[in-house]
Structure 1
Amino acid sequence: MFELDPQFVENLLLSKQVLSFSSYFHPSLVSLYLEIAKKEAQIFLILTEPVLKRFKADYSESFQTLVQFEHVSLYLFPKDSKLAGVTVTDRFFLLTILPQVKFFEHESLFSSEPQALKWGTDLFSYLQKEAVPVSAKTNPIIL
């Protein structure tokens, strides 16, 4: 339940571009995003406020390292979300939703079909329009 899907991890590590939205915190993603950033993959990361605060508080050094990469863009999603996560790369699309009545469970849809990548990119673009860019210049308090 708390382990990342091996197919997700394998494909994420091979991706050249990562578009990711998350309204839940998973500690394993911290090291994965750092590893991908070190490979110079383009990363666009949208986090809800609780996730951003936890990432910064519990993994401060990793957080600061990640945001220093020029090819990493960080955004704050200022609203509540019914989506747990959206990840779109040049290799796959993963949509994760939370059921209304069960806690600590989720349902995920994984696809590498071109139509799914397009749909996932469109969904991410919508979320990005609702998000606020986070940088040392625009939001120094957050960083």
Structure 2
Amino acid sequence: MKSKTHIRGETRSSLLDTIFLSEKRKKLLLLLKEEGPKRGEEIKEVFDFPWKSITPQIKKLIDWGLVLEEGEMYILSDMGAVIAEKVQALLNTLSIYEENLDFWYDHDLSSIPPHLRARVGELGHVNILERDLSNILLIPEEITKNLVGSKRIMSFVSVFHPSSPFLYFEFLEKGIESTAIVTKPILDILQTECTSDLPFINTNNSIFNKALIEYKQEIKYILNSKASNFLVYQGDLKPMSMIVTDRIFLLSLLDKKGKLTTKFLISSEPAALMWGEELFMYYKEMSKPVTESLSSL
């Protein structure tokens, strides 16, 4: 058996090799991290390998001080627990990038703060949806269903969508706890929409004109309602759009040329919702209420 002194004298790459050049050793570390101490028979059942092929891998981990043998039990050492946690985080990060490499490569990630970019692996499994260019204004049913069914909704909006006021008005009517952050250009659009005397579209259709009037009224109600929590973003980072609720997380990023794309990330995993809420709170800290400045509307 190697002495610990000899092990400490070896290069760091040897420890990396110990963990990553053997799938069995890596899986054993993660097994002990997730499920705690295990007997040899339990490890054998999980791996479904002959015990004689597993014992050399356990011995290697014990030699490096990552695993301890206490009676019949194998447990992670304090050092092993720290390393196993980091190994899991790295694997999660690699997995999320590998699954959707084109999305992450093509988009500008600078709107995600460094501390959350470093923890992007916490998102777990995500889907990438692409909006239909033939009907770019249509919000997918999968999204609207989750939004209306949510108990609370937090959104950051940097791109104006005509149906957004209707959705937000519906949230308020249903008593859904809603907080929206908009960029200054979006706020300007909303103010113009509800204060302008000019018609959006010149038409003699009375039904359509009535709908436009109601549209203006809904925007005005949203901006002035005490039930509404409307904020305007004050930061310098490149804008993006996101929605996070107790049911769903959506993230839209600009491409590397600063242009809007048709793809967005969506997930309903609990860890993704927590990550998304932390991202929203980061932006909320750089935003301020707009209620007072809109009191004259």
8 Å contact from structure 1 (residues 74, 135) kept in 2: yes
Partner of 1:8: 143
Partner of 1:74: 230
For residues 57-89 of structure 1, what are the alpha-carbon distances to aligned partners after superposition, in whole Å with 9 as ceiling and x for unaligned? 124422221134433201000235434211111
Q: Distance in 2 between matches of 1:76 and 1:128?
A: 9
Q: 1:135 to 1:102 in 2, by over 3 A?
A: closer
Partner of 2:8: none
Q: State the number of aligned residues.
A: 141
Q: Does 1:126 align with 2:261?
A: no
8 Å contact from structure 1 (residues 83, 96) kept in 2: no
Partner of 2:68: none
Q: 1:140 to 1:29 in 2, by over 3 A?
A: closer
Q: 1:14 to 1:78 in 2, by over 3 A?
A: same
8 Å contact from structure 1 (residues 134, 142) kept in 2: no
8 Å contact from structure 1 (residues 75, 134) kept in 2: yes
Q: Distance in 2 between matches of 1:101 and 1:71?
A: 38
8 Å contact from structure 1 (residues 98, 107) kept in 2: no
Partner of 2:291: 135
Q: 3-state SS of the aligned residue for 1:20?
A: strand
Partner of 1:65: 221
For residues 72-129 of structure 1, what are the alpha-carbon distances to aligned partners after superposition, in whole Å with 9 as ceiling and x for unaligned? 2010002354342111111111111111237452421111100000000000000000
Q: Distance in 1 between matches of 2:191 and 2:254?
A: 24
Q: Does 1:110 align with 2:245?
A: no
Partner of 1:90: 246
The structure that is helix-richer by fraction is: 2
1:67 partner letter: L
Comparing 62-71 with 110-119, which one deviates more in the overlay?
A: 62-71
Give the alignment's TM-score, normalised by structure 1: 0.87
The structure that is strand-richer by fraction is: 1
Give the alignment's TM-score, normalised by structure 2: 0.44
Q: Distance in 2 between matches of 1:127 and 1:142?
A: 27
Q: Distance in 2 between matches of 1:122 and 1:102?
A: 24
Q: Does 1:38 align with 2:173?
A: yes
2:256 partner letter: Q
Q: 1:106 to 1:78 in 2, by over 3 A?
A: farther
Q: How does 1:43-62 map to 2 (within 5 A)?
A: 43-59=178-194, 60-62=216-218
Which has more radius of gyration? 2
8 Å contact from structure 2 (residues 224, 295) kept in 1: no
Q: Distance in 2 between matches of 1:93 and 1:11?
A: 10
Comparing 99-108 with 72-81, which one deviates more in the overlay?
A: 99-108
Identity rate of aligned residues, in percent? 31
Q: 3-state SS of the aligned residue for 1:121?
A: helix
Comparing 103-112 with 29-38, which one deviates more in the overlay?
A: 103-112
